[in-house]
Amino acid sequence: MTASEREAVSADASAEDEETPVVELDNVEIVYDRHFLAVQGVSMSVDEGDIVALLGPNGAGKSTILKMISGIGRSERGEVSRGRVFYDGEDVTNNGANEMVDRGVTHILEGRRVFEDLTVEENLRCGLYRGGRRFRFEEDDYEIAFEYFPQLEEILDLKAGYASGGQQQMLVIARALIHRPRLLLLDEPSLGLAPKLVEDIFETLVEINRQEDITMIIADQNAQRTLDIADYGYVMENGQIELNDPADVLLNREEIKEFYLGTSGDGSRYTDIRHYKIRKRWT
Amino acid sequence: MVDFVTFLDITISGIGLGALYALVAMGFALIYKVTGVLNFAQGELALVGAYGVVILGTSSLISTPLPAVAAVGATILFGIILGIFLERVIFRQFIGEPVLSVIIVTLALGGIFSGFIRFLLGPNYRSYPEALTFGFSIDLPLGTSISAAYALAVALALVVVVALMLFFRYTVTGSILRAAASDEQAAMVLGVSIERTIALAWALSIGITAIGGVLLAMSSGGAGFSIVATGIIIFAAVVFGGLDSIPGAFLGAIIVGLLQELGSFYLEGGSAVVLPVVDVQLNFGAGFGEILPLIFLLVVIVVKPYGLFGTERIERL
């Protein structure tokens, strides 16, 4: 056991003593359509106020985990078939999306899912809805959205489908903020955006995390950027968690450098190493 | 030559007929807009509305019928409850399934509704209570007039189209309905209950359709099974308007009503239009007025598959 791993274990142990994690997955197995095994033996724990990075290549199961936490996976015939999911210490395994929203979980789906036919203002208005009815509707409801994304105020009457990619990403985050969530799940917020925009959005996420005290899980392929702002990180591969450590420890691990950051010191190229079994090198 | 006052008269009754269709058409467009379902039971739902008043307001089935106006109110209420009931029992099972399954279900529902009414009341035409068969007409300028039932239909259709437009544009619930239609999953993660959305859409739709059915029956003095055919005619109207547009459905229905009235009057022989230069009488024989909207439907689908106001990403028919 390396020093860093020991650190991680002891950090986990002390966290458990202090407070219940916001989200805890205990040896979770997720099955789609009763047959397709998507995620296996995943345990993770997210502490109040943290930003947790969920990393890994396409198809590793990052989205699946987020979807089962927010409950939206149920509508895609996904099911936690083994293990338990806890939210605030309560068992929420296989709860529906509505109930999780009521508990303060808001999920930002992959791919900037704005309501294209609706204007920006109408999109924000949809954030005023919760549990089947609108739950507050005053002018200053949008303030939290405009505070972090002042650009949106200028394009309120624009059809969201015509907004730029960056504006759409801001809009979906703003729409989620109007919900005043406790836990925000973000799926690939950097996907398909220019590096400068990614920079801005990640900076804003940190601000939101600090000022609004919103816990976040960010699933992203941009490992460097995500780990830079995260407190803790999980790396997934083939539906399993292969690595987990505090973000700064992960950033310095050789495997991460080689496979996700491309900054390994010895000059090895991706073509030289791709036939290796990644998992073997991690154990 | 065409007599101008007669032409105006026919035009006005065309608009009146169009307004009747508009109510049924808007019920159809509403369902398509919110749930993506083409409701092939629309004509039968109008029939349910028409016969609802017969059942509740005349002594054909119950011994002490409700007063006429109460019967109409109860019928509309029944339509709304039917919408909620259908969501609970049937449409809820199909959330996340292909829309096609629900479309097939509407075909079955249509058969069940019309079959059940036939079972209860037989296939014959049933007159409406006296209070609901406005025999009189309202005089308009230039010596024209409009029958009271048509005038009521025009007023109600206008109220419904304006109310729906305001509802979808300015209320949170209206935005939510459009949002759920645009991206069901993204709406669900915002805490939108898809079940409620669907129930609301069907309740509103069947309520409006029931009003349309009652007015269709009133305009001809009573309920008959010919109302089912409205389900096909309004299809032309809705396709013209663009399937998912409510004002489009309204306008389309008015145009279909006009085509039908003008077609029946001028192209069926009686006062046939004579083309002045070639001296040919446009006489296509009896019943042409009724198929004119369908010819129109064909032309619209070929020329403008997404209709006047339709969202262009909707599937072609």
Domains of chain A, by residue range, sit at 3-93+184-282, 113-180
Is A72 near chain B, with CB under 8 Å? yes
Is A67 near chain B, with CB under 8 Å? no
Beta-carbon pairs below 8 A across chains A and B: 82
Q: Which amino acid is at A92?
A: V
ipTM: 0.78
Q: How far B317 CA lies from chain A's nearest CA (Å)?
A: 21
Query: Which of A97, A102, A134 is facing B189, going by the closest CB pair?
Result: A97
CB–CB of B191 and A101 under 8 A?
Answer: yes
- pLDDT of B204: 92
Is A109 near chain B, with CB under 8 Å? yes
- A3-93+184-282: which CATH number, 3.40.50.880, 3.40.1350.10, 3.40.50.300, 3.30.70.260? 3.40.50.300
- pLDDT of A274: 47
Q: Are B205 and B106 in contact (CB under 8 A)?
A: no
CB–CB of B175 and A107 under 8 A?
Answer: no
Mutant choice from B93, B167, B189 vs A, greatest count of A C-beta within 10 A: B189
CA angle A262, A265, A266 (to 5 degrees): 105
Task: List Cα–Cα distances, A13 to A16, A90, A242, B273, in angstroms.
Answer: 5, 19, 20, 92
Mutant choice from B95, B173, B182, B190 vs A, greatest count of A C-beta within 10 A: B190
Residue A57 sits at φ, ψ, to 5 deg, of -75, 175
pLDDT tens digits, B28-85: 999 988 888 888 888 899 989 888 888 887 777 777 777 878 888 888 999 999 989 9
Closest among B297, B289, B217, B300 to B14, alpha carbons compared: B289
Instruction: Pick out chain A residues at pLDDT < 70.
Output: 1-18, 130-139, 258-283
- pLDDT of A279: 46
pLDDT tens digits, A13-61: 544 456 788 899 988 999 988 888 888 889 999 999 899 999 888 888 8
* Residue reference for tokens 């109302």: B227
Contacts with A172 from chain B: Cβ below 8 Å = 186
CA atoms within 13 A on the CB side of A26: 11
What residue ranges define each of the domains in chain B, with the CATH number in brackets?
4-129+147-303 (1.10.3470)
CB–CB of A125 and B172 under 8 A?
Answer: yes
Q: Are B49 and B73 in contact (CB under 8 A)?
A: no
Task: List Cα–Cα distances, B26 to A147, A150, B158, in angstroms.
Answer: 41, 39, 11
Q: Are B26 and B45 in contact (CB under 8 A)?
A: no
Cα A280 from Cα B18, distance rounded (Å): 73
Query: Which of B172, B186, B311 is facing A128, going by the closest CB pair?
Result: B172
Tens digit of each residue's pLDDT, chain B (317 residues): 457 778 888 888 889 999 999 999 999 999 988 888 888 888 899 989 888 888 887 777 777 777 878 888 888 999 999 989 988 898 888 877 788 888 888 999 998 998 888 888 878 887 777 777 777 777 777 777 778 888 888 898 999 999 999 998 888 888 888 888 888 888 888 888 888 888 899 999 999 999 999 888 888 887 778 888 888 888 888 888 888 888 888 998 999 899 888 888 877 766 666 666 666 666 676 777 778 888 888 887 788 777 767 665 544 34
- pLDDT of B273: 66
Work out the mean pLDDT of chain A and round it to a whole number. Answer: 81
